[in-house]
Structure 1
Amino acid sequence: MTSKDCTVKNIERIVLNIPFHPRCERVKELRVFGWSVVELCRVTLSSGVVGVGETLPNYTFRRSTDELFNKVIGHNLFDHLWDDTLGAGLQMALFDAAGKHLGIPCHRLLGIQYRDACPVSWWAQDMPPEEWAAEAVAAIEHGFTTMKVKARPWFDPDQQMEAVSAVIPPHFKMDMDFNGLLLGPDLAAPLISRLEDKYPNLAIVESPIPQADVAGNAALRRKIRSPISMHFGSPPIMTAIREGVCDGFVISGGANQVKKQGVLAEHADMPFWLQLVGTGLTTMFSVHQGAVLSQARWPAIPCINIYSHPLVRDLQVKGGHIEVPQEPGLGIELDPDAVERFRVDPDFQKPVQRQIHTLLWPDGRKSHYATGVYRDQFLAGKLPGFLPGVSLDARLDDGSDEFDREYREHFGE
């Protein structure tokens, strides 16, 4: 084995359109419809070793372009392994190829193994109470013990948590992500306190109010019992630690950034979860990273449960954890039949469907929107949020005359 064997000979891009799971398809098409598009990067070395990675071009921190491919082709892969500017798919494929070339799992390239299995969470967006409950049941059936949910001001969180609590065991935990939509401690403190008192399964609250509100977050943390999680870097990390605005972090990005932020969190003795979104490939790369970062003890958020197929074989979650692979590279087996089944043209553009969003206010009023623009109105404090009994009816164009008539009635042509 020589250094020439490590030269990147070729890179292939394969574009897939993976259907969302029928259980959550409606809300995913409404909220993150572009996430079904996945770009595989297949890197071939001069030695014949092949590494595979993936990018969600409509979400991941950076897309791996042809220009970036050309930057790596003809060069030793170890010269570029830690370059986050390559994008998620290419960097992941290089790590996979490097591990296979050396005959070691990716986590040995990332650091010293700290844990044998990594915690992982189910993910659900804003849904009616019965759909959150169905997601929780599915999570339990698939071996998960935690579910992170998107709490939104157009739903009543008490009704949602009540529905979930009726179907989950005491050990199953719920993490609620408000994305700042509780606005300030005046609204956040009493609402979260009520949920804490009523639902012992509530675990972590993420970004309950805008993260830039340093004083507000510090005050809120003193008023509630639940740990607060915030995205690393906002406010600046030393401000967050010094002012005590949160109990832990959400960490994402390229391998170099994740490593640096994870080590800093370790020095601060603050836990975090990894939020690297994708199919089974990204999920397992996240496991390798979590294996070497001691404070990655909060359940990671890979969002793998939103897809109808994980793209890999034999991915198992047991007791809310995924075992850290010891096989070379990512330690996964890509399902070639699934890849071919979901493969689309390189210039594939997913068609946009018309939508009708109807806010159902507790007093019987209805407000209609053609998109989810009402989120900005809630975030700006122009609409009252989290009212008891509030709900949302959001629908996609089903091709029926009835939908067309209603759409034109509300929004014109």
Structure 2
Amino acid sequence: MKITHAERTALNVPFYAPHVDHAMARANTHNERVWVYRLETDNGLVSITDGHGASDTAGLVGKDPWTIMWDDDIGFGPQVAAFDLCGKDAGVPVHALLGNKLRDRCPLSWWDIDMAPEDWVKEAEESLRRGYTSFKMKARPWRDIIAQIDAVSQVVPVDYRFDVDFNGFLLTQAKAEQILSQLDQRVNVGMYESPFYLRRDLKGAQMLRERIQKPIVEHFGDDVWQTEVSDGFVVGGGASGTMRQGIMAAALNKPFWLQMVGAGLTTTFAAHIGSVLS
């Protein structure tokens, strides 16, 4: 099997509501641009995938998808398409190419950039309408995260979870302890991601972990797991890197949160990876 055609198309997919559009335009972290990839092979197979990044497709023609599907360097969208083509060629779902399936269902989380409390309330209500049971929130120092959490807690059930991602903005162990000790008392709060970047102050991170009740997680890295400053990991990237990180998390008996950026086709691939990682 050889790839005979490879193309990349830019799409702008609008956000679903004006308050989301406004918040995302202000944050300037993720925009409406999604890249769609189409690969065709000499045995009549076609794969269409998406991704947040613009990966080059020029060098894919003539390649055998079986020889490149584990190559993270070809880019996420083309790599997912290669897996899809190989699954179709073998007559198996993609998860069968990744490993042994461990579960039939994988939880997916709602995601939002920082917003005013009333807009996060709208987001939580919409997430419930669509069947979500968790919400990854971007906490920022220019907002009151305690007030935001308290507002959203009023519209979700007690078993709904908030995963609060600070992206390092609390800066120090002392500031993080001050905020997280208050959030520990909120029943819907599930975990904290990068209250400050733990690898920048490993001793402070160890101290924080001892004093805070709920899990503190960080993006996977050797310095983080070797010093045991994190209760779990955020893993992601290409298929090879993600699988390595997930397998290491299992060896360390740590939970992980799988992070992949894209639209619905990316989400589907993430579910396949999530079905084989323990």
Shorter-chain TM-score: what band? Answer: over 0.9
Q: Using the alignment, how far apart are the partners of 2:207 and 2:132 within structure 1?
A: 33
SS at match of 1:249: strand
Conservation of the 8 A alpha-carbon contact between 1:230 and 1:248 = yes
In structure 2, the partner of 1:299 is none
In structure 2, the partner of 1:137 is 125
Amino acid across the alignment from 2:171: L
Among 35, 50, 53, the residue aligned to 1:54:
50
Conservation of the 8 A alpha-carbon contact between 2:109 and 2:135 = yes
Shift of 1:119: 1.0
Conservation of the 8 A alpha-carbon contact between 2:51 and 2:263 = no
SS at match of 2:34: strand
In structure 2, the partner of 1:208 is 195
Q: Using the alignment, how far apart are the partners of 1:217 and 1:252 within structure 2?
A: 22
In structure 2, the partner of 1:173 is 161
Counterparts of residues 277-296 of structure 1 (less than 5 Å):
277-294=261-278
- 1:39 lines up with 2:23 in the alignment: no
More helix, by proportion: 2
Amino acid across the alignment from 2:122: A
Conservation of the 8 A alpha-carbon contact between 1:228 and 1:248 = yes
Scaled by the length of structure 2, the TM-score of the pair is 0.96
- 1:261 lines up with 2:245 in the alignment: yes
User: Would the alpha carbon gap of residues 149 and 13 (structure 1) be closer, same or farther in structure 2, given more than 3 Å must change?
Assistant: same
User: Would the alpha carbon gap of residues 28 and 252 (structure 1) be closer, same or farther in structure 2, given more than 3 Å must change?
Assistant: same
- 1:191 lines up with 2:187 in the alignment: no
Percent of aligned pairs sharing the same letter: 40
- 1:275 lines up with 2:270 in the alignment: no
Q: Using the alignment, how far apart are the partners of 1:248 and 1:293 within structure 2?
A: 14
Q: Using the alignment, how far apart are the partners of 1:192 and 1:279 within structure 2?
A: 32
- 1:28 lines up with 2:15 in the alignment: no
SS at match of 1:130: helix
SS at match of 2:66: helix
Structure 1: segments with no counterpart, 5+ residues:
1-5, 58-62, 295-413
In structure 2, the partner of 1:14 is 9
Conservation of the 8 A alpha-carbon contact between 1:72 and 1:80 = no
Q: Using the alignment, how far apart are the partners of 2:248 and 2:183 within structure 1?
A: 32
Conservation of the 8 A alpha-carbon contact between 2:2 and 2:41 = yes
Conservation of the 8 A alpha-carbon contact between 2:136 and 2:164 = yes
| Higher relative contact order structure (alpha carbons within 8 Å, sequence separation ≥ 6) | 1
- 1:84 lines up with 2:72 in the alignment: yes
SS at match of 2:265: helix
Amino acid across the alignment from 2:237: G
SS at match of 1:10: strand
User: Would the alpha carbon gap of residues 202 and 25 (structure 1) be closer, same or farther in structure 2, given more than 3 Å must change?
Assistant: same
Larger radius of gyration: 1
Q: Using the alignment, how far apart are the partners of 1:13 and 1:185 within structure 2?
A: 44
Q: Using the alignment, how far apart are the partners of 1:225 and 1:83 within structure 2?
A: 39
Aligned-pair Cα RMSD in Å: 1.2
**For each residue in 1:149-194, what CA deviation from the matched residue of structure 2 results, as whole angstroms up to 9, or x when unmatched?**
0111101112111111111110111110011111112111121111
